[in-house]
């Protein structure tokens, strides 16, 4: 009997289309796996009946000879930042506990239209703020991976899309949605040995996605290989008049154009990313990545992105600034939680609701954001950060004169243990150091598995491309995937 948990997006789609198995069989098998993996805490809400209903519709369409969508019969996990009609959407915050949207996000609607079904809503860092999934109101997500030291230390699945990464690595679902504001698709993908791509800003509609930092937020797919990411991105992307930053461009046929022959491509290696004291295993993996791309026909060039060191500080001003503005809407009146102490007035209700509804990290960001936007400090912090952002974007523009793609590590370390970094926000923020420059510049960037470190944990290689050139990013990802021989899996302890 087929073990459906081993099939990816393409294999499920093709098997359903060819009549090898029914979509309902796949949905039922994965529903069972989801139900059996509570220890990972990857899902906030499970929706087995929705997965089955979508699968039944696909099986009926096939029986009737109707054309099937790009994701027909593929059950996926939905990050709980996407509004889903009739299904609680929380952004992993107490503030939105019990909030049931009356509308569907454009990205999730596109996926359902393409024939995908929903296994459930995936846990994440609260309002997508975090790098370890430890800021969720609904508890930590645990990575299925463990160190090879014989200990049982619970490891972070990365963040903020930690439910997505953990569920895919544990083979609860072949793919899941992620969102990436400053690395939240790429870093969790790297931590659990899967792939994920953040497309060019504007490729996927933000409509119906709970906003964090609107000038950076972008949705994208996470899956176990590059082809599956290409398929799912095609289903997610597309112009949406309801999002003013949506790009009015056709969606390329990324899957059909996958090609790992990189002859004629120049790959830039940014010297500023070779930080002093860089982890030895990360440096080795990066060198391997360079060798694999060379083997695929690419030419390797040394490049400079001189403003790299300012990217992290600029991000941690701009993202909180936008967050403080976006999160002003949670006032106890319109959405979710209301905390109305006896005899309290309107201001007291706002204060009580926001104090009770937001977690510590969210409150920290709102305070930082409010501070950097305040009249006396606006120019010193916010305006300055925007200038730095422009310089970072220009660094990439200049780099494209000598290269077509950039190769770097996704994160400076392998997965860390739960609780290891959350007492010190700065050390947590530092984990985003390689991810945020591409976010600030709005460029497509992908993480693919690059190997294992000494502790037996996955490491990710990041490929950054020119705006709108997701194809080149995916192709380089495929070239790495074909050479890295990465087949490691987490042992099934849960
Ligand atoms: N880890 C980063 C942060 O905490 C990025 C989060 C994201 O991309 N949503 O802001």
Centroid of ligand 1 to alpha carbon of 484 (angstroms): 28
pLDDT mean over 206-225: 98
| Whole-number pLDDT of residue 254 | 98
pLDDT higher than threshold 90 for residue 341: no
Q: pTM of the entire structure? A: 0.98
Q: Which two tokens stand for residue 356?
A: 């009770």
Q: How far apart are CA 472 and CA 143, in angstroms?
A: 30
Q: Is 209 in the pocket of ligand 1 (CB under 6 A)?
A: no
Could you tell me the distance, in angstroms and rounded to a whole number, from the CA of residue 92 to the centre of ligand 1?
14
Mean pLDDT over residues 166-183, rounded? Answer: 98
Q: Averaged over 455-459, what is the pLDDT? A: 98
Among 220, 222, 214, 221, smallest CA distance to 243 is for 214
Asked if the model's pLDDT at residue 353 lies above 90, the reply is yes
* Rounded CA separation 189/71 (Å): 21
> What is the tens place of the pLDDT at every residue in 20-68?
999 999 999 999 999 999 999 999 999 999 999 999 999 999 999 999 9
What average pLDDT score do residues 478-490 get? Answer: 98
For 455-493, give one letter per residue: b (16+ CB within 10 A) or e.
bebbbbbbbbbbbbbbbbbbbbbbbbbebbebeeebeee
Instruction: Tell me the chain's radius of gyration from C-alpha atoms.
Output: 21
Instruction: Give pLDDT tens digits for 228-268.
Output: 999 999 999 999 999 999 999 999 999 999 999 999 999 99
CB-CB contact of 209 with 161 (8 Å): no
> What digits encode the pLDDT tens for the residues 66-85?
999 999 999 999 999 999 99
Q: Atom of ligand 1 at shortest distance to CA of 184?
A: 8
Query: Which two three-digit tokens encode residue 149?
Result: 């030291």
Residue-wise pLDDT tens digits, 109-157:
999 999 999 999 999 999 999 999 999 999 999 999 999 998 899 999 9
Would the CB of 160 count as within 6 Å of ligand 1?
A: yes
pLDDT mean over 460-469: 98
Token duo for residue 221: 């797919």
Instruction: Please tell me the predicted confidence (pLDDT) of residue 138.
Output: 98
Asked if the model's pLDDT at residue 344 lies above 90, the reply is: no
End-to-end CA distance of the chain: 23
Q: Per-residue confidence at 1, pLDDT binned at 50, 70, 90?
A: confident
Q: Cα of 204 to ligand 1 centre, how many Å? A: 18
**CATH 3.90.1300.10 assigned to 4-260+465-484:** yes
Contacts with 4 (C-beta within 8 Å, 6 or more apart), sequence order: 12, 21, 25, 26, 29, 30
Q: Is the backbone peptide bond immediately before 160 cis, with ω within 30 degrees of 0? A: yes
CA-nearest of 278, 334, 299, 241 to 453 is 278
Amino acid 335: pLDDT = 82
- pLDDT-derived band at 177 (thresholds 50, 70, 90) equals very high
Nearest CA to ligand 1 atom 5: 182
Q: Who's near 8: CB < 8 A, 6+ residues apart? A: 174, 175, 223, 224, 225, 227, 228
With CA atoms as reference, report the closest residue to 118 among 70, 48, 171: 48
pLDDT beyond 90 at 336: no
Nearest atom of ligand 1 to the alpha carbon of 316: 10
| Mean pLDDT of all residues in 456-480 | 98
Concatenated DSSP letters for 123-165? Answer: P-SGGG--SSS-S-TT-----S---TTS----B---SSSHHHH
Q: Which of 327, 432, 439 to mutate to test the pocket of ligand 1 (most atoms within 8 A of CB)?
A: 432
Within 13 Å and on the Cβ side, how many CA atoms surround 143?
35
Q: What is the pLDDT of residues 379-396, one digit of tens each?
A: 999 999 999 999 999 999
Residue found under tokens 């359902």: 112
Beta bridge partners of 222: 176, 196
Question: Residue range 283-311: average pLDDT?
Answer: 98
Predicted local distance difference test score (pLDDT) of residue 27: 98
pLDDT at 486 over 90: yes
Average pLDDT of every residue of the chain: 97
Give the single-character DSSP code of 453. -
């Amino acid at each position: 009997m087929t073990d459906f948990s081993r099939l990816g997006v393409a294999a499920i789609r093709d098997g359903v289309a060819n009549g090898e198995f029914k979509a309902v069989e796949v949905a039922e098998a994965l529903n069972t796996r989801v139900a059996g993996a509570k220890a990972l805490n990857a899902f906030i809400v499970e929706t087995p009946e929705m997965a089955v209903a979508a699968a039944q519709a696909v099986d009926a369409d096939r029986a009737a000879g109707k054309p099937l969508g790009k994701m027909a019969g593929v059950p996926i996990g939905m990050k709980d930042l996407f509004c889903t009609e009739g299904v609680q959407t929380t952004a992993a915050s107490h503030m939105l506990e019990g909030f049931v949207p009356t509308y569907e996000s454009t990205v999730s609607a596109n996926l359902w239209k393409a024939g995908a079904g929903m296994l459930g809503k995936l846990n994440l860092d609260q309002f997508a703020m975090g790098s370890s999934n430890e800021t969720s109101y609904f508890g930590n997500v645990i990575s299925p991976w463990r160190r090879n030291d014989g200990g049982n230390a619970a490891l972070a699945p990365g963040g903020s899309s930690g439910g997505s990464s953990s569920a895919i690595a544990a083979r609860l679902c072949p793919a899941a949605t992620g969102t990436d504001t400053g690395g939240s698709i790429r870093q969790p993908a790297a931590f659990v040995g899967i792939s994920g791509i953040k497309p060019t800003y504007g490729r996927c509609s933000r409509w119906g996605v709970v906003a964090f930092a609107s000038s950076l937020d972008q949705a994208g797919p996470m899956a176990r290989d590059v082809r599956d990411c290409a398929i799912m991105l095609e289903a997610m992307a597309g112009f949406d008049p309801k999002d003013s930053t949506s790009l009015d461009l056709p969606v390329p046929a990324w899957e059909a154009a996958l090609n790992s022959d990189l002859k004629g491509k120049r790959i830039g290696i940014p010297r500023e990313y070779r930080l002093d004291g860089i982890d030895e295993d990360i440096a080795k993996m990066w060198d391997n990545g360079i060798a694999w791309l060379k083997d695929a026909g690419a030419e390797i060039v040394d490049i400079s992105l001189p403003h790299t060191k300012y990217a992290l500080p600029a991000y941690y001003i701009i993202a909180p600034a936008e967050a403080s503005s976006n999160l002003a809407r949670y006032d106890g009146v319109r959405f979710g939680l209301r905390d109305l102490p006896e005899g309290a007035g309107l201001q007291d209700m706002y204060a009580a609701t926001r104090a009770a509804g937001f977690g510590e990290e969210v409150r920290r960001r709102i305070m930082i954001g409010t501070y950097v936007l305040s009249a006396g400090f606006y120019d010193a912090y916010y305006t300055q950060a925007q200038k730095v952002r422009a310089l970072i974007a220009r660094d990439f523009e200049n780099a494209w004169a000598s290269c077509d793609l950039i190769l770097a590590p996704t994160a400076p370390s392998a997965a860390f243990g739960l609780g290891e970094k959350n007492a010190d926000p700065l050390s947590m923020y530092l984990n985003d150091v390689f991810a945020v420059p591409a976010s600030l510049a709005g460029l497509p960037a992908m993480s693919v598995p690059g190997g294992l470190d000494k502790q037996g944990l996955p490491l990710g290689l990041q490929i950054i491309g020119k705006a709108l050139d997701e194809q080149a990013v995916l192709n380089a990802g495929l070239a790495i995937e074909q050479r890295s021989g990465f087949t490691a899996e987490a042992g099934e302890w849960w």
